[in-house]
Amino acid sequence: MQSGDEEEEIDEKSAAQMLVLAHAYRVPWLKRRCEEAIGSRLTAESVVDTMQLAALCDAPQLHLRCTRLLAKEFKAVEKTEAWRFLQENDPWLELDILQRLHDADLRRRKWRRKRAEQGVYVELSEAMDCLSHICTEGCTEVGPVGRAPAAAPCPAYATACRGLQLLIRHFSRCHRTSCPRCQRMRKEEEKKAAKAKAKAKAGDDDDKWGLLVKKVRVARAMSSLGKRRQMSCSQC
C-alpha cells in the first residue's frame, strides 16, 4: 500500500483482493484497513457480495456494517441483481440474512419497549413522591387540613404535582353521576379491575405487584443517578 492519492486508487480497485490475502496470510493491520476501506463504500448494490466476502474472510466488523446497511435499506437491496441471484442460487444464505434482520428488528423493538416502560415507571415514581408530598406537607392548592398552602410549588416535580392537585380538586367537587370525565375514567377503571381479577385467579397477583414495586424502585434509582450526573457535569 502506498501513500496519498495512489493509496486511494489501489484501495478502490483491489481492496477485496487485499482483504482475502490479508486473511489468508494473517496480517491483522492490513485486514482492518481493508475492512474500513470496503465498509466506507458500501452501497445497496454491493452489500450482498460484501457480506459474503466478510463471512469468508472472518471480518466481523465488515459483516456488522453490511447487516446495518441491509436493515436500513432492505427495500433497495431487494431490487438489486445481487439479491435476485442470491435468491436463485443460495436460499440458505437468503434465509440466514432474513433471520438476522428479523432478530435485529426484535431486539430494536424490545429496547424501545423497555425504554417506554422505564419512562412509565419513572412517572409512577414521581407521582408517588408527589402524592406523599401533597398528603403530608401540602402544596400550593391541596394539602392536609389545618395547614396553610405553600407559597411556591415543589421544585422537584412541579408539573406532576400540579396535575395531581387538579385531579384531587376535581374529584372532591364534581358530581360523578353527571360528570362525563369521571364516568369515562370509572368505566376504564372497571375494565382494568375486571382484567386484573381474571389474571389474579392464576395466583400470580402478588408476584406481579412485587415485580412492579421492584421496577419502580429501579426506575427511581436510575432517575436519581441520572440527575446526579447532570448536576456534576454542570458544576464542572
**DSSP string covering 117-170, please?**
HHHHHHHHHHHHHHHHHHHHT--SS---TT-PPPSS--SSSHHHHHHHHHHHHH
Q: Is residue 186's pLDDT more than 70?
A: yes
pLDDT at 76: 92
Q: Which of 12-16, 44-48, 60-64, 115-119 has the lowest mean pLDDT?
A: 12-16
Q: Is residue 7's pLDDT more than 60?
A: no
Higher pLDDT: 125 or 47? It is 47
- CA separation for the pair 75, 53 (Å, rounded): 22
pLDDT at 13: 62
Class level of CATH domain 4-89: alpha beta
| Domain spans, the chain | 4-89, 114-235
pLDDT at 168: 79
Give burial (CB, 10 Å; 0-12/13-18/19+) of 14.
middle
pLDDT at 153: 67
Q: How do the residues of the chain divide into helix, strand and coil, expressed in percent and rounded to 5?
A: 80, 0, 20
**First-to-last CA distance in the chain?**
45
Query: DSSP character for 73?
Result: S
pLDDT at 5: 43
Residues 6+ apart with CB under 8 A from 138: 144, 147, 148, 149, 150
pLDDT at 25: 92
Whole-model pTM above 0.85? no
Q: Is residue 68's pLDDT more than 60?
A: yes
Torsion sign, CA atoms 31, 33, 34, 36: positive
pLDDT at 66: 92
Q: Is residue 171's pLDDT more than 70?
A: yes
Residue 11: pLDDT band (50, 70, 90) is low
- CA separation for the pair 221, 198 (Å, rounded): 32
Helices (H) and strands (E) in the chain, counts: 10, 0
Quote the mean pLDDT of the chain. 78
